[in-house]
Structure 1
């Protein structure tokens, strides 16, 4: 399966079919995507970079807490 960046229209169509609460699309290589509601960006939870990013933030918080 070849990953590619999906367009905004494809993302909106995917959300109509699968729901808009969390965006988790293994076929989409986008890290940041437009939010379903409101202004801003959210992340693709199926992208491994997202999990690395979240773990790095948590690690940074923990390290700052104990130093």
Structure 2
């Protein structure tokens, strides 16, 4: 399967079937619009989203606990 950027309409349809947490391996977007409210959330199937979360925690950990 090739990954491509999904449109906002496709993302909404995916959420109707799979729930609020966005985990879509076929979508190459890192940030997607939130299901409720204003703003953006992460596509948790994209490996870059994991890096975006772990790097700040790692920096804080090494600054205060090293």
TM-score class normalised by the smaller sequence:
over 0.9
State the number of aligned residues. 66
Stretches of structure 1 that go unaligned for 5 or more consecutive residues are none
Take 1:28 and 1:57, find their aligned partners in 2: how far apart are those partners?
24
The structure 1 segments of at least 4 consecutive aligned residues displaced by more than 3 Å after TM superposition are: none
What is the distance in 2 between the residues matched to 1:31 and 1:9? 16
Structure 2's unaligned 5+ residue stretches are: none
| Superposition RMSD in Å | 1.1
Quote the Cα distance in structure 2 between the aligned partners of 1:39 and 1:62: 31
Normalized against structure 1, the TM-score is what? 0.91
How many angstroms does 1:46 deviate by?
0.2
Distance 1:23 1:11 in 2: 9
